[in-house]
Structure 1
Amino acid sequence: MARDPQVRMATTEDLPWIHELRHRVYARELGQHPPHPSGQLHDGLDGDNVYLVVAHGPVRTGFVSVTPPGAGRYALEKYLTREELPVLAEDGVFEVRLLTVEPERRSTAAAPLLMYAALRWIAARGGRRVVAMGRTDLLPMYLATGLRPAGRTVRSGAPTFEVLTGSVRELSRAAAGRHRAAVDRLRARTDWRLDVPFAFPPDGCEHGGASFTAIGTDFTDLGRRHRIVAADVLDAWFPPAPGVRAALAEDPAWTARTSPPAGAEGLLARIAAARALPVETLAVGAGSSDLIYRAFGRWLTPDSRVLLTDPCYGEYAHVTERVIGCRVDRFRLRREDGWRIDPDRLAATVAAGDYDLVVLVNPNNPTGVHAPAAGLRPLLAAAPPRTRWWIDEAYIGYAGLTESLAALAATDPRVVVCASLSKMYALSGLRVAHLVAEPATAALLREWTPPWQLGLPAQLAAVAALGDPAYYTDRWLRTRALRRGLAAGLAALDATVTVEESVANFLTLTLPPDGPGAARMVAECRRHGVYLRDLTPLSPAYGGRAVRVAVRDTAENTRIVAACHAALETLRPGPAAGPATPRTVAATAAGPVG
């Protein structure tokens, strides 16, 4: 039997109830709006808002509204300009508002549960700051959550409101720390249906891969994997090479119980031979993330200065800013430039910045754009001697292995190349990666590598994979054809949707500014068993309207197109149930608004 209450994202079927409850509370109960003959209260931000709902069985009992930064406007701007409230101009600001609970449920845990759900949803989408409005008579409740007054009060109808703000990181720490007992009580009795885990991740980083929540992280029913399309992660659509499967299947009992070579010596030798590199320039890790944490933890301190491209793979910002606490700048890539790196502009930025580390993901994730090696070599040669460059080549096979800068990294002490075998070689589940650096740098990182870093299945699989380049070259070429077919299918759905192909195994879908945001699109596709990646957390440049879609096989690509078609049809603006009212910012009779 399902636990009660249930927390989930609102669907289109919930909207009439949301509008009706808002009318009862804010028009009739609080008198903030004149009653409307339709009995419903609409909002100018309805197309951008995301609603989270609490229900007890079939009965809906409360909701909260979240406005992502991609909307380009906030309800608070009805009362205050961005000059008067500068926090609204920062990156990653989410507005929480309209926490509304049915009158008979206001003494239950519905309001705290909605507050926590909003925080988890925002944290999972890379939110940096929350802004909200809370009734002054309920101020102690807001302060207890960790929100703090922003020094502004506003009046809406009869109630007076305090403008509140809080760092998502600090609010999350409070929820996982001093409020942990209360949060644990909520968890024990809640049927959690959101697309993020109930608890905050132990490392504080909201990683991708929400599709595994549909399979079940308890692994009790792996058959569920056949019912979903995991296009939110960039795992290969194809199986590993026949030799890999044979190596893993030959004697799985022995492979599972046997300790591997402590230093992965055979794998290092195979990488050296496959890439024509001296073995002393190599170090291995359990995926790129292992190498990132290990290397950056050795090289960087809170006094270090780091330059990241924006957009960029989110793990780099997490490690440098949150884990180590470096001073991090962004080199903004521009949509109007096709997300390409301008070498001259980057060179000027690096020369002026006195950076300890510059990170380039090439081909870039999430833009999928590749910077040719011929353009990068002069840039690297002219860079300041003290600046180290980390080149992430997780998807380089899709651009061509001849485009790798690994040979340069083997001789230049300022350059390190990180290369994952996970995505290109269909080994994501085994976690295998290596880096290339000049011998002294590589030797230091090997010293800080624990023995048996890679399990025996991973070593066996990686050696076999590198021994069959023809198989993978064919799969990479096939990926290009599948990507083009997927792009054509998505582009044909709606003339207002922009499809941007990449050189890798994914593409980007950008929604029009006058339609639903990426979060609603992603949520609607999940109702059809298709998981896509909302790019809002990765960069404000996406405006909350970009979705990354992984390339899958022909059948699953067909499901992706069908789900996107159904989602766009469902979310397409239709006739309003009543005239739009001014943007509503109000307190619930039960608790915070945002």
Structure 2
Amino acid sequence: MNRRNWLKNSAAMTVGATALPALLQKAYADPAARNELYMDLSHEFRAALLADSMPPAAVKARLSANENPWGLSAKTKTAVNSSLTEANRYAMRATMDLYKAISEKDGIPMPQSPAGGGGWGGASKSYIKLGCGSTELLNASLMHFAQKGTIMVGDPCYISSNDERYPMDKVKLTADYQYDLDAMAKKIDPAKHSLVYICNPNNPTGNMLPADKLRKFIDEVSPKVTVLVDEAYIDYATNPKTDCMVDKIKEGKNVIVLRTLSKLYAFAGMRLGYALGKPELLQDISKYTMNGFGLTLPTIMGAMAAFSDAENTKMVLDKTNESKKYTADFLTKAGYKVIPSYANFMLFPVNMKGTELTGKLMQEGVMVRNWFFDGQHWCRVSIGTMDEMKAFTDSFTKVVS
């Protein structure tokens, strides 16, 4: 089938999309454009691509993509290696086991068969949707809801710079760089808005909403407009079990929660994320995903091992906190005001252009991210090993002096 016929046969997908940005219109009809949109959405992918453009020996500290520098745990590696003997087979049974593992981990019910025999009830009844990283599921959600209206976001947040690709209504953060939930709730208009996106902890600021305040916001807003809570960094929160919004799903609210294994569990290169929500909400975004079929058996088996490896999880959190404290203490002593972070990165204002700072640090073999908002240049530095953070502080001192 040639491109012309493909676009013609896909015309039904463009209904209501004529007023949308050009790339998004193309994405509804063309899988190649959809992939372009997916890659463009991922800030961390672009940062990693830049890091990979440098000779490995020249990189002293890769602190631009919020990756886990300690890598896969020993138990995860064993599970991955063991799975290779069965990697010539489709991973259907293992996928069902992964659904069960996520169900038990997050307290989400498994879809039961109509006969009540405890069997798999099918994707249309599932509260869980698997993806190749949570970015696939975020992109699918945005594509679906963008057809219905404007997406409300905090500014800045992970997706706020993508307003040329998705119709967005940006609400400025508060003076302490937190989501202004009161302003967002007042501004919500069901006739205009189709989705509210909340990244919690927020990227790039790293701060986190009080759980009770976010729950109150969801109670007020979700009957009018669906709320998507991106919890990519929830594992680094003080109380991830109680700070997450999964309970609102169990209450039947119009909420989608996104999770990823790319951070705490070091699956950035293994690619596994999932969405939690009412089955009808997850079904709406299904047509823009591979419905978990893109996951490999090694990834699935590794994920289940990672979930059960509490010792490694504690090690990563302890080392992250150690490196974070060292870096925050250094920056504070140097006179920089660091935004309190509940993630594996931190953000602070700088006194030179962000691109100038990142360029000079890159020459030193240190990779960080720059941002500009609120009339201010900012540096976002991922939390790496202690050696990496010392390479950052040494190079930072050199380039700003």
Question: TM-score if structure 1 supplies the norm length?
Answer: 0.54
Measured after TM superposition, the shift of residue 386 of structure 1 is 3.0
Q: In terms of mean alpha carbon deviation, does 201-210 or 523-532 score higher?
A: 201-210
Q: How big is each residue's C-alpha offset from its partner over 1:547-592, in whole Å with a ceiling of 9 and x where there is no partner? A: 10011111111000011011112xxxxxxxxxxxxxxxxxxxxxxx
- State the match for 2:202 in structure 1: 364
The equivalent position to 2:214 in structure 1, one of 376, 381, 391, is 376
Deviation at 1:269, TM superposition (A): 0.9
Residue type at the aligned position of 2:79: A
* Residue matched to 1:310: 155
- Size of the alignment, in residue pairs? 348
Alignment pair present for 1:560 and 2:392: yes
CA contact (8 A) 1:389 1:416 kept: yes
Alpha-carbon separation, structure 2, partners of 1:225 and 1:462? 30
Is residue 2:46 matched to residue 1:205?
no
Change over 3 Å in CA distance of 1:266–1:557 after alignment to 2? same
Give 1:273 deviation, angstroms.
Answer: 0.9
1:512-523 counterparts in 2 under 5 A?
A: 512=351, 516-523=352-359
Q: Is it true that 1:388 corresponds to 2:226 in the alignment?
A: yes
Q: CA deviation at 1:392?
A: 0.3
Q: Which residue of the other structure, out of 227, 250, 275, is the alignment partner of 2:59?
A: 227
Q: Secondary structure at the match of 1:369?
A: coil
Match of 1:287 among 133, 147, 152: 133
Once the two structures are superposed, the pairs formed by residues 404-443 of structure 1 within 5 Å of their partners are 404-443=244-283
Cross-structure match for 1:488: 329
CA distance in 2, matches of 1:266, 1:446: 20
State which of 446, 454, 460 in structure 1 corresponds to 2:301.
Answer: 460
Q: Which residue of 2 aligns with 1:578?
A: none
Q: For 1:277-322, what per-residue CA distance to the aligned partner results, in whole angstroms no more than 9, with x for missing partners?
A: 1123111101111101223323331x512101001003x653xx44
Kindly provide the CA deviation profile for residues 23-59 of structure 1, in whole angstroms up to 9, marking residues without a partner as x.
Answer: xxxxxxxxxxxxxxxxxxxxxxxxxxxxxxxxxxxxx
What's the CA shift string for 1:517-570, capped at 9, x where partnerless? 11111111111100010113xxx32x351010011111111000011011112x
Equivalent in the alignment of 1:297: 143
> Residues 70-149 of structure 1: matches in 2 within 5 Å?
none
Cα shift at 1:471: 2.6
SS class of match (2:339) = strand
Q: Cα deviation per residue 1:363-416 (whole Å; 9 max; x = unaligned)? A: 000011110211111111122623000000001111122211012124424111
**1:475 Cα offset (Å):** 2.1
Q: What residue in structure 1 maps to residue 116 of structure 2?
A: none
Q: Which has the larger radius of gyration?
A: 1
Structure 1 unaligned segments of length 5 or more: list them. 1-168, 171-200, 570-594
The structure-2 alpha-carbon separation of the partners of 1:346 and 1:445, relative to structure 1 and needing over 3 Å to count, comes to closer
CA distance, structure 1, for counterparts of residue 325 and residue 392 of structure 2? 14
Letter of the 1:289 counterpart: T
Structural RMSD (CA):
2.7
**Structure 2 residue identity aligned to 1:533:** R
- Structure 2: distance between partners of 1:389 and 1:360: 7
In structure 2, do the counterparts of structure 1 residues 364 and 348 end up closer, same or farther at CA, with 3 Å as the change threshold? same
Long gaps (5+) in structure 2: 1-20, 23-34, 111-125
Aligned to 1:215: 52
CA distance in 1, matches of 2:68, 2:348: 19
Question: For the Cα contact (< 8 Å) 1:233–1:550, is it kept in 2?
Answer: yes
Secondary structure in structure 2 of the residue aligned to 1:382 = helix
Q: Tell me whether 1:531 sits opposite 2:372 in the alignment.
A: no
Question: Which secondary structure does the structure 1 equivalent of 2:381 belong to?
Answer: strand
AA in 2 matched with 1:238 = W
Query: Hey, what does 1:239 align to over in structure 2?
Result: 71
1:258, distance to aligned residue in structure 2 (A): 4.2
SS at 1:250 equivalent: helix
Partner of 1:331: helix, strand, or coil?
A: strand
Higher helix share: 2
Instruction: Give the structure 2 partner of residue 505 of structure 1.
Output: 344
Change (3 A) 1:298 1:213: closer
After TM superposition, the structure 1 = structure 2 runs for residues 122-201 of structure 1, keeping only pairs within 5 Å, are: none
Q: Distance in 1 between matches of 2:103 and 2:376?
A: 42
In 2 relative to 1, CA 385–215 (structure 1 residues): closer, same or farther, beyond 3 Å? closer
In 1, distance between residues paired with 2:133 and 2:146? 20
Deviation at 1:470, TM superposition (A): 4.0
The amino acid across from 1:484 in the alignment is K
Deviations 1:444-490 (A, max 9, x none): 54575446221112111111111123431342243122201111123
* Matches of 2:158 and 2:266, distance apart in 1: 19
CA contact (8 A) 1:394 1:420 kept: yes
Deviating runs (4+, > 6 A) in structure 1? none
Q: In the alignment, does 2:383 pair up with 1:548?
A: no
Aligned partners of 1:311 and 1:366 also within 8 Å = yes
Which residue number corresponds to residue 99 of structure 2? 268
